[in-house]
Amino acid sequence: MSLRKAKEDLIQEESRFVWFQDYRLVQSEFRDVLKSGYALYAEILEQKKIKNESISKEMAFLKNRIESLKGITKMSNEGRLARGFLIKAEMLLSEATVRYNNGNYSAAEENLKASSEFIKKAKDTIRPILSRYMDLGQIKKWRQMADETIAESKSKGIHVIIVNKIERTLVLYKNGVPSGTYDVGLGRNGSLDKLSDGDNSTPEGKYRITKKIPNSRYHKALLINYPNEEDRRNFIRAKKKGLIPESARIGGLIEIHGGGKDSMTYGCIAMDNSMIDYIFSLVPVGTPVTIVGVVYYNNDLSSAGEGF
């Protein structure tokens, strides 16, 4: 508006007879216009700087969030779905970085918004796992089961087996003292407690070896008595709550077997062949096997999930 008036006044002044022309007012108007322009330009630069810093901070935050979540997903087999979302989030973040470096802040912000949505989906996927392994009541129950089994080993002078899901270890005890720790693989959904046939989860509870199979499909195998009475009660309870379909079956045939510690099973516990050979030679039918999620309150997953 000021520029238009200044132009109009200039035209009007130039239309006067040369002896009567006075450009002082017009010059003042143009100086004011320039002053306003410089102020506007400074404001644009300041807003651009603020936007630049805001996007830069958001990119750094999302990058750290993705890395943190990736670490959590590696602690459980269920993390594979969340990792898929994180890969998409990472790709969008990479696109945002390119657009940011090219000065296309609007497009960069769109990428960051989409990246945040995939990060949220990843968080929602692993939240049920985190909640279990940060639940003090649940951890207390697991610890009590492990302590009781170890006490039985000590009082009877026998071997017992403790499987720790988050650590993915099988610990062999004799006389209440650890005699060996072995890496294991779990079910595809092994961090969750088994509720029914086909859920690919590894059961939790106190079991016993019911059969030794020297020529298993997976080298050698130790069959445990899943489902036990508590498993059956949990199964009925889950149906009543609608957690599993009415047509679901409880399943069975849970084993500790060979095939490799890096295997992802349908719910069994897998070990390297040489390790199952050794344990197979030591433990008789009837050996207690207790499977827990974790035994320490400050476990790797709960620590990683702080502030989640």
Q: Is 181 helix (H, G, I), strand (E, B) or coil?
A: strand
> Residue 283: is its pLDDT beyond 90?
yes
**What is the mean pLDDT of the segment spanning 207-215?**
96
**What is the mean pLDDT of the segment spanning 89-97?**
94
Same domain, 57 and 182: no
115 burial level (CB within 10 Å; 0-12, 13-18, 19+): buried
Same domain, 258 and 157: yes
Same domain, 183 and 293: yes
Same domain, 187 and 299: yes
Query: Which residues are registered as beta bridge partners of 170?
Result: 163, 182
Same domain, 41 and 56: yes
CA distance 79 to 122: 9
Answer with the one of 133, 152, 172 that is the final residue of a domain. Answer: 133
pLDDT of residue 30: 64
The chain-wide mean pLDDT, for the chain, equals 86
DSSP string, 152-208: HHHHHT-EEEEEETTTTEEEEEETTEEEEEEE-B-BTTTTSPP-STTS-PPP-EEEE
Please give the model's pTM, rounded to 2 decimal places. 0.75
Same domain, 72 and 153: no
- Contact present, 187 and 201 (Cβ < 8 Å): yes
CATH of the domain at 215: 2.40.440.10
pLDDT band at 257; cut points 50, 70, 90: very high
What six digits make up the tokens of 133? 């392994």
pLDDT of residue 80: 82
How far, in Å, are 166, 170, 171, 240, 296 from residue 179 at the CA level?
20, 11, 8, 42, 20
Same domain, 154 and 125: no
Same domain, 151 and 114: no
Answer with the one of 133, 165, 182 that is the final residue of a domain. Answer: 133
HSE, CB side, 13 Å, CA atoms: give it for residue 121.
16
pLDDT band at 9; cut points 50, 70, 90: low
> Residue 38: is its pLDDT beyond 70?
no
Amino acid at 298: N
Domain count, the chain: 2
- Contact present, 216 and 257 (Cβ < 8 Å): yes
Same domain, 286 and 179: yes
**What is the mean pLDDT of the segment spanning 91-104?**
91
Answer with the one of 101, 133, 165 that is the final residue of a domain. Answer: 133
Q: Which of 92-101, 198-207, 299-308 has the lowest mean pLDDT?
A: 299-308
Same domain, 106 and 150: no
Same domain, 94 and 72: yes
Same domain, 113 and 156: no
pLDDT of residue 46: 66
- Which structural domain range is residue 102 located in? 2-133
